[in-house]
Structure 1
Amino acid sequence: MNSNKKAAKIVGVLFILAAVTAIIGLILYDPILNGPDYLIKGSEHANQVILGAIMELILVVSAVGTATTMFPFLRKYSETIALWHVCFRFLEAVVITLGIISILSLLTLSREYVAGGSPDIAFYQASGTLLKAIHGWTFLLGPNFMLGINTMMYSYIFYRSKLVPSFIPLLGMTGATLVLICAFLVMFGVIEQLSIFGGLLALPIAANEMILAVWLIVKGFNGSAIDSLSAKKKVSRNFHL
């Protein structure tokens, strides 16, 4: 029981850490992602940009940590879905990492532009546009598309297994659906990801993660549900033997 509560607290803390570092990282990227003079501002605020990259690396570790820590609980209901959840969470982490690489590459480009004195600005602007586009797509596919799939899977298991109160996974599945819709709308150019409408569509999934995190830290997983799942798993194993 103590190990289950400890694992639940770890998951809760990792969810909060992932959310906080994601927001901080995006804010710290501002000089190199926004504004027409990003090729100059990026180099001027190099340490800030690097700190933003470190924040996102913490996000990557936290995302993988939530999946691997939840896996033993999710597999009690469905090992297949639990494995899919881990795989897609790793894919989300890989996509986010590609975004980090694009930002650090853009920082290198900015430094080269400033050090060059009077370089061919067209070349640097074209390269910068490409690197910013890569980051934009990874920002869409990771924190939106992959996140929606991941949240749908673990929320479904939480709802069916009763590991947490039903209102939490119901909010999670609703949020996952809306963030997936948001991802497709952004892909087809209907809305901007960083917009009021995009923010409204992402709000339920953000609320779900924070509510789930606090619940796991304070209450943990439902002990009776864990016992029931373990008993069913044992009976199923004995039957197949």
Structure 2
Amino acid sequence: MINHKRTAAFVGLLYIIGTISGILSVMFTGSILESTDLFMTVSTNESHIILGVVFILIMGISLAFVPIIIYPIVKKTNQALALGYVVFRGALENFTYLAYAISLLVLVVFSKEFVRSVSLDNTIFQVMENIIVDSGEQIQAISTVVFSVGALMLYYLLYQSRLIPKWLSGWGFIAGIIYLATGVFGLFGPTFTILMMPLALQEMVMAVWLIIMGFSPAK
């Protein structure tokens, strides 16, 4: 089996780009979205929201390429599961990213209208604010579930194929289960971000491994 070192390095780089973009999107939007006067805060920080949306899209595009690139390699282990990985991580996950990005842009639109109509009854704006925020949180929870299912498919394939060390793919699979549980709980209540850290750390370790070591030859 060919080592596919260049492919592995590119996949590792995409993981790093996607992760950094995701972190930057949170840095630009996180504190704004936690504001108690959301529409007013958004209206004075519109550029931050727009930048956050841009980084969300960069993250989505980067991570969407990963399953497309890996598919020809992992399909030799299980073609159905490899195709499922492409569907979940390449299509469904990016649909949730796009939906969340749109919700942020809608927030910008309503914040502008809020500023123009500040002298009017703000009840309707409060209702719209609640709807947008709640919808965004639900979209993020769904995205977490979709991401986790795709990750579990990938790490099972990597574990079976031994393209990376079993300790690394096993770490990803266990962390993926925790990540999935976090997303499911997030559909009904608050999300415990700390439970996402094991998988986030694993992906960065795997990214560096792929860049340096590449995929392992078949055993």
Q: Which one is further off, 111-120 or 170-179?
A: 111-120
Deviations 1:153-211 (A, max 9, x none): 1100111111001111100110111111112223233xx21xxxx23321211111111
Aligned amino acid, residue 109 of structure 1: F
Match of 2:83 in 1: 83
Runs of at least 5 residues in structure 2 that lack an aligned partner in the other structure: none
Deviations 1:132-169 (A, max 9, x none): 11111111111x21111111111001111110011111
1:201 equivalenced with 2:195 (yes/no): yes
The separation in 1 between residues aligned to 2:197 and 2:34, in whole angstroms, is: 23
Answer whether contact 1:99 1:139 (CA < 8 A) is retained: yes
1:100 equivalenced with 2:101 (yes/no): yes
The alpha carbon displacement at 1:74 in A equals 1.1
1:54 equivalenced with 2:62 (yes/no): no
Answer whether contact 1:148 1:175 (CA < 8 A) is retained: no
The alpha carbon displacement at 1:101 in A equals 0.3
Deviations 1:9-53 (A, max 9, x none): 111011111111111111211354111111111011111110000
Deviations 1:90-148 (A, max 9, x none): 10110111011001101110011112241331111111111111111111111x21111
Runs of at least 5 residues in structure 1 that lack an aligned partner in the other structure: 229-241
Deviations 1:52-101 (A, max 9, x none): 00000001101101111111111121111110000011101101110110
The separation in 1 between residues aligned to 2:11 and 2:150, in whole angstroms, is: 14
Answer whether contact 2:85 2:153 (CA < 8 A) is retained: yes
Answer whether contact 1:9 1:218 (CA < 8 A) is retained: yes
1:31-42 mapped onto 2 (5 Å cutoff): 32-42=32-42
* Greater gyration radius: 1
Q: Which has the higher contact order (CA 8 A, sep 6+)?
A: 2
TM-score, reference length from structure 1: 0.86
Would you say how many aligned residue pairs link Structure 1 and Structure 2? 218
Match of 1:136 in 2: 137
Answer whether contact 1:145 1:180 (CA < 8 A) is retained: yes
Match of 2:208 in 1: 214
Match of 1:71 in 2: 71
Match of 1:234 in 2: none
1:155 equivalenced with 2:123 (yes/no): no
Q: Which one is further off, 7-16 or 22-31?
A: 22-31
Q: Which one is further off, 36-45 or 2-11?
A: 2-11
1:220-235 mapped onto 2 (5 Å cutoff): 220-222=214-216, 224-225=217-218
The separation in 1 between residues aligned to 2:106 and 2:3, in whole angstroms, is: 42
Spell out structure 1 runs of 4+ moving beyond 3 A.
none
1:184 equivalenced with 2:184 (yes/no): yes
Match of 1:236 in 2: none
Answer whether contact 2:8 2:211 (CA < 8 A) is retained: yes
1:126 equivalenced with 2:127 (yes/no): yes
- Residues 1:81 and 1:2: Cα distance change in structure 2 (over 3 Å): closer
The alpha carbon displacement at 1:3 in A equals 8.4
The separation in 2 between residues aligned to 1:130 and 1:159, in whole angstroms, is: 42
